[in-house]
Copies of this chain bind each other. A is one copy, B any other.
Protein backbone atom coordinates (compact mmCIF):
# COMPACT_ATOMS: atom_id res chain seq x y z
CA UNK A 1 0.00 0.00 0.00
CA UNK A 2 2.73 2.35 1.07
CA UNK A 3 4.80 1.61 -2.06
CA UNK A 4 1.74 2.17 -4.26
CA UNK A 5 1.13 5.61 -2.73
CA UNK A 6 4.75 6.54 -3.42
CA UNK A 7 4.47 5.46 -7.07
CA UNK A 8 1.12 7.19 -7.62
CA UNK A 9 2.62 10.39 -6.20
CA UNK A 10 5.58 10.03 -8.56
CA UNK A 11 3.26 9.68 -11.57
CA UNK A 12 1.16 12.69 -10.52
CA UNK A 13 4.23 14.89 -10.05
CA UNK A 14 5.94 13.67 -13.25
CA UNK A 15 2.85 14.61 -15.27
CA UNK A 16 2.61 17.99 -13.53
CA UNK A 17 6.28 18.56 -14.48
CA UNK A 18 5.65 17.62 -18.13
CA UNK A 19 2.71 20.01 -18.27
CA UNK A 20 4.65 22.98 -16.89
CA UNK A 21 7.66 22.22 -19.13
CA UNK A 22 5.47 21.97 -22.26
CA UNK A 23 3.80 25.24 -21.32
CA UNK A 24 7.30 26.69 -21.49
CA UNK A 25 7.89 25.04 -24.89
CA UNK A 26 10.97 23.15 -23.66
CA UNK A 27 12.71 20.57 -25.85
CA UNK A 28 12.11 16.84 -25.14
CA UNK A 29 15.16 16.58 -22.93
CA UNK A 30 14.18 19.65 -20.90
CA UNK A 31 10.73 18.14 -20.40
CA UNK A 32 12.26 14.92 -19.12
CA UNK A 33 14.53 16.80 -16.69
CA UNK A 34 11.64 18.86 -15.31
CA UNK A 35 9.42 15.77 -14.99
CA UNK A 36 12.19 13.94 -13.17
CA UNK A 37 13.10 16.80 -10.85
CA UNK A 38 9.46 17.48 -9.96
CA UNK A 39 8.82 13.81 -9.25
CA UNK A 40 11.92 13.05 -7.20
CA UNK A 41 12.91 16.48 -5.83
CA UNK A 42 10.91 16.34 -2.61
CA UNK A 43 11.78 12.71 -1.86
CA UNK A 44 15.45 13.36 -2.58
CA UNK A 45 15.67 16.25 -0.12
CA UNK A 46 13.75 14.15 2.43
CA UNK A 47 16.14 11.20 2.06
CA UNK A 48 19.22 13.45 2.24
CA UNK A 49 17.96 15.20 5.39
CA UNK A 50 17.40 11.93 7.24
CA UNK A 51 20.56 10.39 5.78
CA UNK A 52 18.91 7.57 3.88
CA UNK A 53 21.38 7.37 0.96
CA UNK A 54 21.79 6.47 -1.86
CA UNK A 55 18.46 8.27 -2.21
CA UNK A 56 15.47 6.07 -2.98
CA UNK A 57 15.13 6.70 -6.74
CA UNK A 58 18.75 5.62 -7.17
CA UNK A 59 18.30 2.20 -5.60
CA UNK A 60 14.77 1.38 -6.76
CA UNK A 61 14.47 1.54 -10.56
CA UNK A 62 10.66 1.58 -10.48
CA UNK A 63 10.72 5.37 -10.01
CA UNK A 64 12.88 5.92 -13.10
CA UNK A 65 10.67 3.65 -15.24
CA UNK A 66 7.48 5.29 -13.99
CA UNK A 67 8.82 8.78 -14.70
CA UNK A 68 10.11 7.83 -18.17
CA UNK A 69 6.79 6.16 -18.97
CA UNK A 70 4.67 9.07 -17.73
CA UNK A 71 6.82 11.54 -19.65
CA UNK A 72 6.68 9.61 -22.93
CA UNK A 73 2.91 9.15 -22.63
CA UNK A 74 2.36 12.81 -21.80
CA UNK A 75 4.52 13.86 -24.77
CA UNK A 76 2.91 11.38 -27.19
CA UNK A 77 -0.57 12.52 -26.25
CA UNK A 78 0.42 16.15 -26.34
CA UNK A 79 -2.37 16.95 -28.81
CA UNK A 80 -4.68 16.41 -25.86
CA UNK A 81 -2.44 18.62 -23.76
CA UNK A 82 -4.89 21.48 -23.61
CA UNK A 83 -7.32 19.20 -21.92
CA UNK A 84 -4.59 18.01 -19.54
CA UNK A 85 -3.39 21.52 -18.88
CA UNK A 86 -6.53 22.30 -16.94
CA UNK A 87 -5.66 19.20 -14.92
CA UNK A 88 -2.20 20.45 -13.94
CA UNK A 89 -3.59 21.79 -10.70
CA UNK A 90 -5.27 18.44 -9.99
CA UNK A 91 -2.12 16.36 -10.59
CA UNK A 92 -0.06 18.68 -8.43
CA UNK A 93 -2.64 18.47 -5.66
CA UNK A 94 -2.81 14.67 -5.76
CA UNK A 95 1.00 14.65 -5.67
CA UNK A 96 1.27 16.73 -2.51
CA UNK A 97 -1.45 14.66 -0.80
CA UNK A 98 0.35 11.38 -1.45
CA UNK A 99 3.88 12.65 -0.76
CA UNK A 100 2.88 14.24 2.55
CA UNK A 101 1.88 10.82 3.87
CA UNK A 102 5.02 9.16 2.46
CA UNK A 103 7.23 11.80 4.10
CA UNK A 104 5.52 11.52 7.49
CA UNK A 105 5.93 7.72 7.33
CA UNK A 106 9.65 7.96 6.49
CA UNK A 107 10.15 10.36 9.39
CA UNK A 108 8.47 7.91 11.76
CA UNK A 109 10.69 5.07 10.50
CA UNK A 110 13.71 7.28 11.24
CA UNK A 111 12.44 7.71 14.81
CA UNK A 112 11.83 11.45 14.54
CA UNK A 113 9.51 13.65 16.64
CA UNK A 114 5.95 14.06 15.22
CA UNK A 115 6.52 17.79 14.54
CA UNK A 116 9.62 16.93 12.54
CA UNK A 117 7.73 14.15 10.71
CA UNK A 118 5.07 16.66 9.66
CA UNK A 119 7.80 19.09 8.51
CA UNK A 120 9.41 16.24 6.57
CA UNK A 121 6.09 15.33 4.95
CA UNK A 122 5.54 18.96 3.97
CA UNK A 123 9.08 19.22 2.56
CA UNK A 124 8.62 15.99 0.57
CA UNK A 125 5.37 17.27 -0.82
CA UNK A 126 6.34 20.84 -1.66
CA UNK A 127 9.99 20.80 -2.68
CA UNK A 128 9.59 19.07 -6.05
CA UNK A 129 7.01 21.62 -7.15
CA UNK A 130 9.13 24.52 -5.87
CA UNK A 131 12.16 23.32 -7.88
CA UNK A 132 9.92 22.78 -10.92
CA UNK A 133 8.62 26.34 -10.69
CA UNK A 134 12.06 27.88 -10.11
CA UNK A 135 13.56 26.03 -13.10
CA UNK A 136 10.58 27.02 -15.26
CA UNK A 137 10.78 30.60 -14.02
CA UNK A 138 7.32 30.57 -12.45
CA UNK A 139 6.52 32.02 -9.01
CA UNK A 140 7.04 29.02 -6.69
CA UNK A 141 3.64 27.51 -5.96
CA UNK A 142 4.39 27.62 -2.24
CA UNK A 143 4.65 31.42 -2.26
CA UNK A 144 1.45 32.09 -4.14
CA UNK A 145 -1.51 33.25 -2.17
CA UNK A 146 -3.65 30.15 -1.78
CA UNK A 147 -3.15 27.62 0.98
CA UNK A 148 -0.61 25.02 -0.15
CA UNK A 149 1.95 23.89 2.43
CA UNK A 150 -0.67 24.57 5.11
CA UNK A 151 -2.78 21.77 3.59
CA UNK A 152 0.17 19.39 3.98
CA UNK A 153 0.65 20.40 7.61
CA UNK A 154 -3.06 19.83 8.31
CA UNK A 155 -2.85 16.39 6.66
CA UNK A 156 0.19 15.57 8.81
CA UNK A 157 -1.63 16.65 11.97
CA UNK A 158 -4.62 14.47 11.08
CA UNK A 159 -2.24 11.55 10.51
CA UNK A 160 -0.99 11.78 14.10
CA UNK A 161 -4.48 12.40 15.50
CA UNK A 162 -6.01 9.27 13.93
CA UNK A 163 -3.16 6.77 13.97
CA UNK A 164 -3.78 5.95 17.64
CA UNK A 165 -7.40 5.15 16.82
CA UNK A 166 -8.35 1.54 16.05
CA UNK A 167 -8.16 2.11 12.28
CA UNK A 168 -6.23 0.04 9.76
CA UNK A 169 -2.94 1.62 8.67
CA UNK A 170 -4.09 1.83 5.06
CA UNK A 171 -7.04 3.98 6.10
CA UNK A 172 -4.78 6.28 8.10
CA UNK A 173 -2.75 6.81 4.90
CA UNK A 174 -5.81 7.39 2.75
CA UNK A 175 -7.62 9.72 5.17
CA UNK A 176 -4.54 11.90 5.81
CA UNK A 177 -3.72 12.16 2.11
CA UNK A 178 -7.34 12.94 1.31
CA UNK A 179 -7.37 15.75 3.91
CA UNK A 180 -4.44 17.42 2.13
CA UNK A 181 -6.16 17.14 -1.25
CA UNK A 182 -9.57 18.29 0.01
CA UNK A 183 -8.18 21.26 1.95
CA UNK A 184 -6.20 22.37 -1.10
CA UNK A 185 -9.20 21.93 -3.44
CA UNK A 186 -11.50 23.89 -1.15
CA UNK A 187 -8.90 26.62 -0.58
CA UNK A 188 -8.44 27.17 -4.33
CA UNK A 189 -12.16 26.80 -5.14
CA UNK A 190 -13.16 29.41 -2.58
CA UNK A 191 -9.93 31.44 -2.83
CA UNK A 192 -9.19 30.94 0.87
CA UNK A 193 -5.84 32.27 2.04
CA UNK A 194 -4.24 32.81 5.42
CA UNK A 195 -5.27 36.04 7.19
CA UNK A 196 -3.02 39.01 6.49
CA UNK A 197 -0.94 40.55 9.26
CA UNK A 198 -0.85 43.92 7.58
CA UNK A 199 -3.39 46.68 7.52
CA UNK A 200 -4.79 47.39 4.10
Interface residues of chain A, those whose CB is within 8 Å of chain B, are: 22, 25-31, 33, 44, 48-51, 53-55, 57-59, 61, 64, 75, 78, 110, 112-113, 115-116, 119-120, 135, 142-143, 145, 149-150, 193-198
Contact = CB atoms under 8 A, between A and B. Distances in A.
A51 B53 contact: yes
A50 B53 contact: yes
Question: What is the interface of chain A mostly: helix, strand, loop, or mixed?
Answer: helix
Contact of A54 (B30, B51, B58, B115): B51
22 contacts: A22-B197, A26-B143, A27-B195, A27-B196, A28-B194, A29-B149, A29-B150, A30-B143, A31-B197, A33-B142, A48-B49, A49-B53, A49-B54, A49-B58, A50-B53, A51-B51, A51-B53, A54-B112, A58-B120, A61-B115, A64-B119, A78-B197
